[in-house]
Amino acid sequence: MGVKNQCYATLIVCYLCLTTGSMFTWPSSVIEVFGSPNTTLNRVMTDTEISLLGSLSSVSALITLPFSGFFLDTFGRKYTCIGLSILQVIGWTIVISFNYVETILAAMCISGLSFCIYLVVPMYTGEFCQNSIRGTTTSSVVMFFVIGWLVSYILGGYLEYHMMNYVSLIMSILCTLLLFYMRESPLYLMKNGLEQEAAATIAYYRNENVSSKEVQQEMENIRRALNPELDGTTSETEKLNPSSNREKLSTWEFLKKSRSTRRGLLLSLVLYSASVFQGQVVVQMYAEPLYSEAIPNISPTVCSIIFAVVNIFAAIVVIFLVDRAGRRPLMIYSSVCTAAFALALGSQIQFHWGPHWVTAVFMYLFCITYSTGAGSIPFTVSSEIFLPEIKNFAIIVSMEYFFFGFFIILFIFNPLVSVVGLSGVFYIFSIVCILTALFCTFYMPETKGLSVDAIQHLFVKPRCHRNKV
């Protein structure tokens, strides 16, 4: 089956992640200016306002995430993405048009409403891509997010403030226009009874004829996913008569009945905990001031750009490995390595046992190993482990938790540094990494190349059998 059209579509959707990543890291380029007497705003930002500048986008994401399931089911994946991109256009327009502290914070709030793309994009790509490349395409979300960091650091380091904002606005407008080229998810079309349109979409993405065996097999897979067997409890009569009427379960009843779904949701929450509290987000958001403190003899802009390039490299490694090595090994080994580098980095910052370039090396290694595991695998796993009936709810709950964690860690980072020091913060990150590796060793099944039905059955097998898959 051809994957060319699937790759083109993934690039377009992931470009939305690029513009989001650029907006998310924009505060790193302007925090020092906004907090100095030479501010471009009407007044100097207070310490609290600077903390809000970095964390408000995560709060905004908490607002839209509960409604994202409604948007996805009502307007479809394509038009939900377009709407989220328009929010970024509005945010940049406000930044360009006004120079008040309050309007800048409002712009970050509005742009942050689009951050639920980390729910939407992996779901969207996972539904139009075939199983053999699903892990690669959903992992591309992280790579494009990181490319957005790089773009933001370069624009902030080498362009004048207003020019940087104009370029960012143009990028968001281009993203909105490109998304109109996309086709709707075949699963969404099937859920709404549009089987002919779904077949045409599958044929387009697989580069096959509508009547081909591959397209018909994919249609059948979607039908089975829309009529799942809960943990093997479906009777033989229902298996032989899938069209028979079955009572539609509420979300809460579904959770109570499906042990595999409860276990999948717990796994998703733990993986997102690792993604937040292993700590790379604070390096990303506060890159320039953090590098100024940790590596004072090297330009913070250069360090930030290298940081983004290093993370792009790590994201490419993940794309290559996720469908080869598997999700579980990447999470375990990357967490162990991240713990080691966080410990070494903390000791270097505390005791200065090596030159400043050693600090930079450990910080980059910390980011590389994080990105190959907790920085990417949770997005891939959460997009593929839930049945369609519960998928929107489960991913929304996971992402709400994820962004709430983002807000907490970004808001408390500066006060925490004041209490335990920068080295102490990295010691805490190291402990979280070790706990992640232990959990994944004993409780995380391998989902590489499996359909959602097969993945669900892994959650009800004995642990020893799950980990052998």
What pLDDT does residue 97 have? 93
How far, CA to CA in Å, does 385 sit from each of 76, 98, 174, 449? 20, 44, 33, 12
DSSP-derived secondary structure for 233-260:
---HHHHH-TTS--PPPPHHHHHHH-HH
Range 4-182+252-466 has CATH code 3.30.70.360 = no
In 3-state terms, what secondary structure has residue 256?
A: helix
What pLDDT does residue 30 have? 85
What pLDDT does residue 341 have? 92
d(CA 355, CA 358): 6
Q: Where are the alpha helices (DSSP H) in 227-372?
A: 236-240, 251-257, 259-277, 280-285, 287-294, 300-321, 327-351, 356-371
Amino acid (1-letter code) at residue 62: L
Amino acid (1-letter code) at residue 309: V
Token pair listed for 353 = 């046992």
Q: What's the residue count for the chain?
A: 469
Residue among 384, 371, 372 nearest 445 (CA) = 384
The residue written with tokens 């642990």 in the block is 463
d(CA 3, CA 220): 20
Q: What is the pLDDT of residues 85-128, one digit of tens each?
A: 999 999 999 999 998 989 999 999 999 888 888 778 887 887 77
Q: What is the pLDDT of residues 341-395, one digit of tens each?
A: 999 988 988 888 888 778 878 888 898 899 888 888 888 888 788 887 787 788 8
d(CA 311, CA 309): 5
What pLDDT does residue 404 have? 85
pLDDT tens for the chain, 469 residues long, are 467 888 888 889 989 999 998 988 888 788 888 888 888 888 888 878 887 887 788 788 888 888 887 888 888 888 999 999 999 999 999 999 998 989 999 999 999 888 888 778 887 887 777 767 776 777 677 778 888 888 988 888 888 889 999 999 999 999 999 999 888 888 888 888 888 888 888 888 887 788 788 888 888 877 776 765 534 444 433 443 444 444 567 777 888 888 888 888 999 999 999 999 998 877 766 666 666 666 677 777 777 788 788 878 887 887 788 878 888 999 999 999 999 999 998 898 888 888 877 887 888 889 889 988 888 888 888 878 888 778 778 888 888 888 888 888 877 887 888 888 888 889 999 999 999 999 999 988 888 877 777 888 888 765 545 554 4
What pLDDT does residue 56 have? 82
How many other C-beta atoms lie within 10 A of the C-beta of residue 415?
11
- Where do the domains of the chain lie? 4-182+252-466
pTM summary value: 0.72
How many other C-beta atoms lie within 10 A of the C-beta of residue 97?
10
